Structure 1
Amino acid sequence: MSDVARARVALVALTAISYLIVFALAVLVGLNVDYGLADAFALLFILTLICGIATKPWPRIRTAIESFLYGVLLVVPIMLAAYLAVRLDRPWADNQLKAMDQALGIDWPALLRYVDNRPYLAQPLNVAYGSFKKQLIWLPIILAALGHLLRSYQMIVMYAVICFAACVISIWFPALGTYAVFDIDPDDIRNIDSTWGYIFLDELKGVKSNPDFVFNLAKAEGIMTFPSVHAASAVLCAWAAWGVRWLRYPFLILNIVMAISAAIVSNHYIVDVIAGIGVAGFGIAAVLLFFPSREANLSVRKGKRPDRIIASTNVV
């Protein structure tokens, strides 16, 4: 079995297993779940399997479609896992996280004011922060279209591994985040889009303290503070784009700014960003350990470009 085939099978298996485990944990923990979209996602899973079979003769199209659809399917168990971590009702960790920042010499309110008073800094951070979903959707599709099939599958598997690892870590670090802890008035913010600093709070407080709380995917928000999934995704996207020469530096710059934006535009402490980068390194290394790019190495031995996995070697 080729590396691409192994990575593809791993993605399918990871998606199915994550649903079984996470929903079983929801029952065990006692978190009520609104299953209103269950039929839609069951149909989507079946559609994804059918598309995988129907597009087998066209590896690039198959990879692009599957990377997108399995990525969408994984949103449900990832979001639910983040809510389950908070549902375990550990003490708020804001004092610990704030102390860590202070030990690093970080004055977060002063940093926020400094950036907010400079539109030329605030606006790029707003744009970079908002690129999160777009990158996760389009980058695997672009990679597949360019013939980097293995990297496209790897990226989705890595994202899932990173998110689930972050969920486990976050069990011990539920936090309201910087905007709430430092009592930042959104009306005082002029250039930074402070929406992301508050939008998750009702969901976070509800799942932590309301015994009748119901998880509803349509209302779900990113409630994880430590570690920062935005920062982790920035590392992942920069890694994924690195294999394409003309994408390499634009995505590196964009994702450096996105990682920084997590500590300004959103609710994250600086240590959240540092931890997110560390989790990304773990996720990337773990997936590469099990699914190394042997085909790319073979291309090097044959004198071919190491950053390009030729489509003909990637047919599943």
Structure 2
Amino acid sequence: MTLSVESLRASSSNDMHLNEGDTSRLSSAMPSDSEVAFPGRLNVVLMAIAAVLTTILYFYVEPDIDLATTVPYILIISTCLALSVYIKHRSAFEDVFRTRMQLVLKGVVFIFVALATLRIFNHLTMSLAFPLADSLLDSWDKSLGLDWMAYFTFVQTHPTFATILKVAYIGFDGASLLGFLALVVMGYARRARYFCEIFLITAAICTTIAMFFPAVAAVVYNFGNVSELEGFGAAPGVYHMEQFLMLRTAETPSIDLLAAQGLATFPSFHAAGGILLIFGFLKTRLSWGVIAFSVTMIASVPIFGGHYFIDVLAGTALAVLVSVLNAMRPCYRGLFGNDASRY
């Protein structure tokens, strides 16, 4: 059987049209940033669960929450909501600007609502009468051959390194908020939602697990509740002790939202957060800078967070697991593809 040149050309043309059709269908199946709603159903469900659990604990513990400390949260949330409505109905703004600004404002509202809810939940759980887990966590470190004291001594005798670690540790909260804003400005709406989801999921799991492993943490366990340690301007890793002990001993625990510290020891959410930042910016032009900051911040956690190494390992593993599983959802298909036009 012979084929003419014309038939070959026709066949090639048909194949080309089929490939174009397949590509078009594949492209249409891939969710775009404009098609992904924020905050999304998963975020809403998770926040609802967190709010319900926090409410139940509130009526069980019956703490004293200074309502005046909620005012800044209320002002930030209400201002962002008002601006979002204004921008939505302001036709003079370009569509891209309007869309991104609304995402920024909704994101800030969501972040502050989640922050307040989980911080109250964390403090309520620390008022429960579970036994201190320091000796257990320290034994896990030792069973893995991890020498916390040797690392502390190394940092203590290298002041420049200690200063870098301290700055990274303190900068984590700001970096997380700026990370979300940067993703929006760069046009990554799906990444911004993904970033919020993995933060909320991981924070909720860390806080829940930590309820069963309350601890004074490594610095206090090894040195006592000190105010000074040689080599540091102030003793690192002890910032939480006053609030932690008050919650465990006071007849009526009190919570000050403006001064509330994170009290979860195992797993470490700071360590988890460094991994979440890396996943949020993977394959963007900021990825290497974020990786450098995150690695430095994670290295600071045993000293300035006062964590055991096992806390860091558990937080890291949890963050990787949550990030990978969430990225496998259909709405995030192609999330980590290279897209040079986007950055």
The bucket for the TM-score relative to the shorter chain is 0.7 to 0.9
Q: Which residue of structure 1 lines up, in the alignment, with residue 161 of structure 2?
A: 121
Structure 1 segments unaligned to the other structure (5+ residues): 311-316
1:33 to 1:308, Cα distance in 2 relative to 1, 3 A: farther
1:178 to 1:222, Cα distance in 2 relative to 1, 3 A: same
Q: Tell me how far 1:39 sits from its aligned partner.
A: 5.7
Is contact 2:228-2:235 (8 Å) kept? no
Q: Which residue of structure 1 lines up, in the alignment, with residue 292 of structure 2?
A: 253
Trace 1:216-227 onto structure 2 (pairs within 5 A).
216-227=256-267
* Percent of pairs with identical residues: 21
Q: Per the alignment, in what secondary structure is the counterpart of residue 286 of structure 2?
A: helix
- Is 1:205 paired with 2:245? yes
Is contact 2:81-2:109 (8 Å) kept? no
Q: Which residue of structure 1 lines up, in the alignment, with residue 7 of structure 2?
A: none
Is contact 1:31-1:87 (8 Å) kept? no
- Is 1:142 paired with 2:174? no
- 1 or 2 for the larger relative contact order (CA 8 Å, sep ≥6)? 1
Q: Which residue of structure 2 lines up, in the alignment, with residue 313 of structure 1?
A: none
Is contact 1:23-1:77 (8 Å) kept? no
Q: Which residue of structure 2 lines up, in the alignment, with residue 231 of structure 1?
A: 271
Is contact 2:63-2:253 (8 Å) kept? yes
Instruction: After superposition, give the CA deviation of every residue in 1:261-288 in whole Å (9 maximum; x if it has no partner).
Output: 1012221000000011122123323533
TM-score where L is the length of structure 1 = 0.85
The AA in structure 1 aligned to 2:292 is I
- Is 1:105 paired with 2:145? yes
What is the aligned residue count? 302
Is contact 1:143-1:149 (8 Å) kept? yes
Structure 2 segments unaligned to the other structure (5+ residues): 1-30, 89-94
Trace 1:256-271 onto structure 2 (pairs within 5 A).
256-271=295-310
1:8 to 1:53, Cα distance in 2 relative to 1, 3 A: farther
Is contact 1:149-1:309 (8 Å) kept? no
Q: Tell me how far 1:240 sits from its aligned partner.
A: 1.0
- Is 1:59 paired with 2:99? yes
Q: Which residue of structure 2 lines up, in the alignment, with residue 8 of structure 1?
A: 39
TM-score where L is the length of structure 2 = 0.79
The AA in structure 1 aligned to 2:55 is F
Instruction: After superposition, give the CA deviation of every residue in 1:6-35 in whole Å (9 maximum; x if it has no partner).
Output: 442334554455334413321134333333
Superposed structure 1 runs of 4+ greater than 6 Å apart: 307-310
Alpha-carbon distance between aligned partners in 2 of 1:84 and 1:32, rounded to the nearest angstrom: 11
Trace 1:1-316 onto structure 2 (pairs within 5 A).
5-10=36-41, 11=43, 14-15=46-47, 18-38=50-70, 41-42=73-74, 44-56=76-88, 57=95, 58-183=98-223, 185-191=226-232, 194-244=234-284, 246-290=285-329, 292-294=331-333, 296=335, 305-306=338-339
Is contact 1:232-1:279 (8 Å) kept? yes
Q: Tell me how far 1:75 sits from its aligned partner.
A: 1.2
The AA in structure 2 aligned to 1:33 is I
Is contact 2:191-2:335 (8 Å) kept? no
Q: Tell me how far 1:189 sits from its aligned partner.
A: 2.8
